[in-house]
Amino acid sequence: MSEYKYLFSPLKIGSTVVPNRINFAAHMTNYAEDNLISDRHIAYYEERAKGGVGLIITEEMGVHPTDHPYLKLVDVYEDHVLPGFKKLTAAIHKYDTKIFAQLNHNGMQGDGKLSRLPVWGPSTGKDPIFRETCKAMEIEDIKECVEYFARCAEVSVEGNFDGIELQLGHSSLIRQFLSPLTNHREDEYGGNLENRCRFALEVIDACRKAIGPDFTLGVRMNADEMHPRGGLTHEGAKEVAVRLEASGQLDFFDLSIGTFYNLFLVEGSMHTPLGYTVPLAAGMRSVLNLPVFCTNRINDPHLAEKILAEGQADMIGMVRALIADPELPNKAMEGREEDIRNCIACNQGCIARMGLGYHLGCMHNPAVGKEAELGIGTLKPADEPKKVVVVGGGPAGLEVARCATVRKHRVILFEKEADVGGQNIIAGKVAGRQEITGVTRWLVSQLNKLELDMRLGVEATAEMVLAEQPDAVVIATGSTPLTHPYGGEYGPPDVVTTVQIITEEVEAGDKVLLIDLDGHHQAVGTAEFLADRGKKVHMLTAALFVGSLLGPLQDLYLSRNRLANKGITFTPDIAVLEIQGTTVKGLNVYSNEIIDFTGYDTVVLAAGTAANDSLYHELKGQVKEIYRVGDCVAPRKTDMAIIEGHRIGRAI
Amino acid sequence: MKPNMHDNLFSPLSIRGTQLSNRVCLLAHRTNLGITGRITDRHIAYYRRRAEGGCGLIIVGELAVHPDDRPWETLIDVQHPEAINDFKKLTDAIRQCDTRVIAQLNHHGFQSSGYVTRKAILGPSAIADVVFGETCKPMEPEDMDEVVEAFAKGAQRVKAGGFDGIEIDMGPESLLRQFLSPISNHRGDEYGGSIENRLRFPLRVVDAVRKAVGDDFTVGVCLCSDEKFYGGLTTEETVPMAQALESTGAVDFINVAVGTYYNLHLIMPSQHIPFGFTMETAEQIKNGISLPVMASYQIGFPSKAEKIIAEGKADMVGYVRAMICDPDIVKKTKEGRIEDIRFCVKDNKGCVGRVNQSKPIGCILNPKVGCESLDGKEQLPPIGQKKKIIVVGAGPSGMEVARVAKERGHDVTIYEKSEKVGGQIRLIGKRPGRGAMQGVTRYLKHMLDKHGVEVQTGVTATLEMILEQKPDAVVVATGSVPLTKPYPGEYGPPKVLTGWEVIKGTHPVGDKVLFVDECGGHHAMATAEMLAEQGKKVDLVTSDLFIGIELAPRGELYLGRQRLLQQGANFRTDVDILNIDTTDGSLRIEARDIYTNKHFFFEGYDTLVLDVGNKVEDDLYHQLKGKVKEVYRTGDCVAPRGIDMAIIEGRNVGEAL
């Protein structure tokens, strides 16, 4: 415990004493039902309180009907929100955890598709994501918005929150007023710094009046919009912060970074360095007296402690780190760091699902959003311990083995390779994707503490499995890359799969044609892997652009940026018809023009995988209980492998 | 027009005991009005409103027979504990009209993902759907048993819920089609291969459903009768399939559908797809069987529908968008009020465009879609006091305000600065393939004429002029104009033009044209197409990832890109325009690749066309504000958006006055 001198020391924020320095910062969940806090929300937040977090700041909650950028926003301005608020705050207050409500208006970072109203902004303009021109707010709109903020602040007090955070960060109307990028007004709300701060100060004043002098009130403000052409710079943000602090109405400064122009900074993936916003927090802290929060890619307690120890921030915001492991604070406090399931910033289960409108999940924590059913303390020993054979030591098989062993089953795990991890290890060999192997790291760390019979380097046959006379068999044999997805005469070493390249089974020639049916990291990562080794790579895809699935992961811009700068070229809209040798015959799906792609030394296929289900079919009917999980059911992604592994691990 | 023009359309039809009063059916379609797997009051209001409009049959879609089939969250779970009660509320509401109601039961198979259920999706063979992109699990025998049972149980539940019948979905987005089609069924067992084998699973479902509901209940099939895709189903196979369905004796009608997710532009055909493009297919099915056949897709015009029935090409016609846009189309047809019909213009933005983006269904022309009156009494609110109202601008927004205000009894005058009404729609409708958009103006103009609204065209309203007339309320609907100077530099016509200037022909356009598209919709693509048709060489450039970024949800992306590319256009993406200069008579365009940050110049173009969005025309509003008792603004002069918001805001203000 002494290891964390700062992390587990209390912090006084206004009138609120937070027991430690970890804040579960505001983030979308899509758990709302009918724009209200749901039971799912409550179980989700309560799980983090149980896990030892000091402070929870709710997801943004909308203050005005003109702001409805997505279906499942929680609205505060309706009176019937109160029962949900009270239930939520009561659940959190069972623990030594404080909870603040975040109030926001997203301004022009929205559209009218749901509200069927014009969206509001300081000046007319379009957000790059929502692409709808906003209405430049009239004076009465500004007044109305300030009133709504105040009213919602009052509702938050009544809902028994411990404090309020006003969103002035990456997605907010108030930032749009602060920023010269979006505020081109010529009245008293635009132009110089004083004018651009006016709306923020009016909101702060009105909220303070509504909640009284003793209730905790802070802001989450943008420490740097990081926009290449104007916008709120770090120096500009400092000036704003100093002005806001001088109002004497605030108790803390939480921070964010970036805008919708550079979402890859707002939601940094594993390609973004850990703690990438720390210098900004330190900069803000150098000019402020109030406590400063630092968030973004702080996924481990040592880093958190270091930031606090070095005086760069007073509070550490964690989001994905606590989605992946709600018990991170308790585990750190108890010195069980290796048990922490660190967020790997893959963004697949959390951010991508948010962007696509699904409920929040996590690639390697299957309990996210299902805490009532799968949360802390729910993995109970089985009534009847069984002998379980698991075949395959990828994420799905490891998760089955972990859950079944915890539940006191006797587990034998066969893995044909010398090491476990399966495709997760291969995925980690692609350029910049090493962190993804954290999935295997955690699973192995847990299995190492359990009693089970791991048989590595053994390819299980039906006979071998039956010879064990198991009560239950779980097949988790994964999937294999498709080597012949098109007609024609071709094969290795001229035509190979991405896996053959990244495992260095085959070395590609100098000129490579990569066929991308993947749209994900496998294709672009392999291209980068090859370019890094001096190869000239051209990519073909039938999609409209290369990296078609990377947008929601916030990996699209930086990936394409790296690819383009490494000289990789693209031809989209091409359906491959056949391959002969290394000649690829493609059809432009729009013009119907047939094009031969020739002159390449190696053709690399990112064409997906096929299920390895033969062992399952052989054993089906021959054992009492048989299950299969993960890619050998249908090749998908790690999230489904772990969800299914967990489900079966509990069901046996 | 005499009412008896549509005798055949209004002749009754009996399908195994279900008596239809006419031949028009509202087909199953997505509404996204469902919440937590259940039918909502919005659903009931939506369907009741269409029943009130007089269609003979409504087929309610979005019903999923198995809880693990959830391609999107808003589906209705037939197995939900409250489902039967919910169904009763819906069917009771519809039954108050002379309309029968059938439940479409479906399983989407692999046209889905596990994003909602967090489970594997099912299909005949291991396939990743072109839209969802997730590889499915090939169904094992026990999976098939489970789905058959779910269909049977679902059938019992909808019967208990008061539906008059069932339509089993074997259409473009169904598991059963996936079994029928050689594109998606590669099974080596008795469920794959020959037609007989591919039919085996669908026939098991038909059999189980019939057994579940008994002999006196109507059961039909929506059959994808032509996938219109390489290697897919054609009538060569689907006619024998329809015959096999008929020969079971369990099927009472066939609803002829076409297309798959490979060609979504056929399932949700836009203005660019010809009317009645499925008639040949429907006729072939009709000729092959003796069961009643329903034809649909692009049959919204009563005269076309009448002709189809009269000529015996089909027994029923299916409408969807026609009845979204005008719920009263059947009633108006019957009464011979064809001119009063608000015809669907197949813009697809309000309906499929919204639905595909997981938003509740809407309509660009009918602002009430999805928010129909819950108590079933849709009427305009009465006025307190008759007001003198001036509307400035006769685009869709101003016309809708005027129509509604006048119908409510106010005294309304519209001033329009052009010689004709319609605003931006007049320009939109001049683009190739977009002529149907004029239908928006046609309907509104007709209603204004009918209600006697005074429309003064060719008059530019000024502050003084308005104040002189002492109106009680002024509505400013002055629209928007294209941005002419969105980038730094010294430039302008004739070298640099806006899309509007090109359509209007204000300046000659050179042979080589660079077209900047920052909106991603029809404005740029259709205007570029117009230039290409004039023989110009047109290249489009955008900072987006691809040209036409807004068009996919509307089923317009594929054909739009195809038309342009086949006319020799080139697309350049990922480019920011930095500076434009025409001062020395040449055209200098400096740009930057967004990803490499390399700066470069576009060379060799004669004309640059800009489509980078519009700016509000709000001067008059700001001048009037504070000077008249009531002042409102609606549509693009609030914020440039589109026709949907123009009409919604027009309606809202028209009702508020």
3-state helix/strand/coil string of A545-572: CCCCCCHHHCCHHHHHHHHHHCCCEEEC
Residue type, A389: V
B416-440 tens-digit pLDDT? 999 999 999 999 999 999 999 999 9
* Sign of the C-alpha dihedral computed for residues B457, B462, B468 and B474 taken in this order: positive
Q: CB distance from A334 to chain B under 8 Å?
A: no
- Residue of chain B nearest A633, judged by CA positions: B137
Q: In B, residues 51-110, which contact A (CB 8 Å cutoff)?
A: 73
Give the span between the Cα atoms of A292 and A237, in whole angstroms. Answer: 13
Give the span between the Cα atoms of B29 and B31, in whole angstroms. Answer: 6
Contact A634 B133 (CB under 8 A): no
**pLDDT, position A112:** 96
* Sign of the C-alpha dihedral computed for residues B467, B468, B474 and B479 taken in this order: negative
Distance from CA of A565 to the nearest CA of B (A): 6
Distance from CA of B379 to the nearest CA of A (A): 20
Contact B595 A563 (CB under 8 A): yes
Q: What ipTM does this complex have?
A: 0.94
Residues in chain B: 657
**pLDDT, position B1:** 46
Minimum-distance CB partner of B116 among A358, A557, A590? A358
* Sign of the C-alpha dihedral computed for residues A433, A434, A435 and A436 taken in this order: positive
CA distances from B421 to A590, B84, B411, B524 (A): 37, 50, 19, 23
Distance from CA of B101 to the nearest CA of A (A): 28
In B109-217 the beta strands, taken as DSSP E runs, fall at: 122-123, 137-138, 165-170
Contact A608 B545 (CB under 8 A): no
**For range B438-464, the mean pLDDT:** 97
Cβ–Cβ < 8 Å for A605, A485: yes
Give the span between the Cα atoms of A342 and A337, in whole angstroms. Answer: 10
Contact B573 A545 (CB under 8 A): yes
Q: CB distance from A289 to chain B under 8 Å?
A: no
Distance from CA of A564 to the nearest CA of B (A): 6
Q: Which of A130, A131, A570, A639 to mutate to test the interface with B (most CBs of B within 10 A)?
A: A131
Q: CB distance from A578 to chain B under 8 Å?
A: no
Cα Dmax for chain A: 83
Count CB atoms within 10 A of the CB of residue B284.
20
B216-245 tens-digit pLDDT? 999 999 999 999 999 999 999 999 999 999
With b for 16 or more beta-carbon neighbours within 10 A and e for fewer, the A556-574 pattern comes to: bbbbbebbbebebebebbb
> Which residues of chain B are within 8 Å of residue A135 when distances are taken between CB atoms?
638-639
Q: CB distance from B550 to chain A under 8 Å?
A: yes
Average pLDDT per consecutive 10 residues, chain A (652 residues; last block may be shorter)? 87 98 98 96 98 98 97 91 97 98 98 96 95 97 98 97 97 97 97 97 98 98 91 96 98 95 92 95 98 96 97 98 98 96 97 95 97 97 97 98 98 98 96 95 97 97 98 98 97 97 97 96 96 98 94 94 95 96 96 95 97 98 96 97 98 96
> Which residues of chain B are within 8 Å of residue A563 when distances are taken between CB atoms?
595
H/E element, A149: helix A139-158
Give the span between the Cα atoms of A325 and A299, in whole angstroms. Answer: 10
Give the span between the Cα atoms of B168 and B220, in whole angstroms. Answer: 6
Quick one: tokens of B485? 């100077």
Distance from CA of B137 to the nearest CA of A (A): 5
Q: Which of A31, A70, A71, A556 to mutate to test the interface with B (most CBs of B within 10 A)?
A: A71
CA distances from B283 to B251, B255, B286 (A): 18, 12, 5
Cβ–Cβ < 8 Å for A124, A190: no
Which single residue is written with the structure tokens 């072109």? B130
- Residue of chain A nearest B355, judged by CA positions: A113
Q: CB pairs below 8 Å between A and B: how many?
A: 104
Contact B566 A608 (CB under 8 A): no
Q: Which of A79-83, A330-334, B198-202, B620-624 has the lowest mean pLDDT?
A: A79-83
> Which residues of chain A are within 8 Å of residue B134 when distances are taken between CB atoms?
634, 636
pTM for the complete prediction? 0.95
Q: CB distance from B359 to chain A under 8 Å?
A: yes
Quick one: tokens of B625? 């504000």
> Which residues of chain B are within 8 Å of residue A34 when distances are taken between CB atoms?
35
**pLDDT, position B376:** 76
**pLDDT, position A230:** 84
- Residue of chain A nearest B483, judged by CA positions: A125
**pLDDT, position B4:** 62
**pLDDT, position A548:** 93
Give the span between the Cα atoms of B284 and B507, in whole angstroms. Answer: 51
> Which residues of chain A are within 8 Å of residue B135 when distances are taken between CB atoms?
608, 611, 634-636
Asked if residue B2 has pLDDT above 60, the reply is no
Q: What are phi and psi of B613, to 5 degrees?
A: 110, 175
Give the span between the Cα atoms of B324 and B199, in whole angstroms. Answer: 34
Q: CB distance from A360 to chain B under 8 Å?
A: no
Q: CB distance from A356 to chain B under 8 Å?
A: yes
Contact B639 A133 (CB under 8 A): yes
Count CB atoms within 10 A of the CB of residue B215.
11
Contact B354 A565 (CB under 8 A): no
**pLDDT, position A607:** 94
- Residue of chain B nearest A137, judged by CA positions: B638
Q: CB distance from A480 to chain B under 8 Å?
A: no
Q: What are phi and psi of A484, to 5 degrees?
A: -135, 60
Cβ–Cβ < 8 Å for B105, B217: no
CA distances from A215 to A78, A161, A291, A606 (A): 21, 9, 16, 56
Which residues lie closer than 8 Å to A458 by C-beta, 6 or more apart?
Answer: A414, A415, A416, A464
Q: What are phi and psi of A48, to 5 degrees?
A: -70, -35
> Which residues of chain B are within 8 Å of residue A356 when distances are taken between CB atoms?
115
Cβ–Cβ < 8 Å for B570, B546: no
Give the span between the Cα atoms of B37 and B521, in whole angstroms. Answer: 33
* Sign of the C-alpha dihedral computed for residues B505, B510, B512 and B513 taken in this order: negative
Give the span between the Cα atoms of B635 and B621, in whole angstroms. Answer: 12
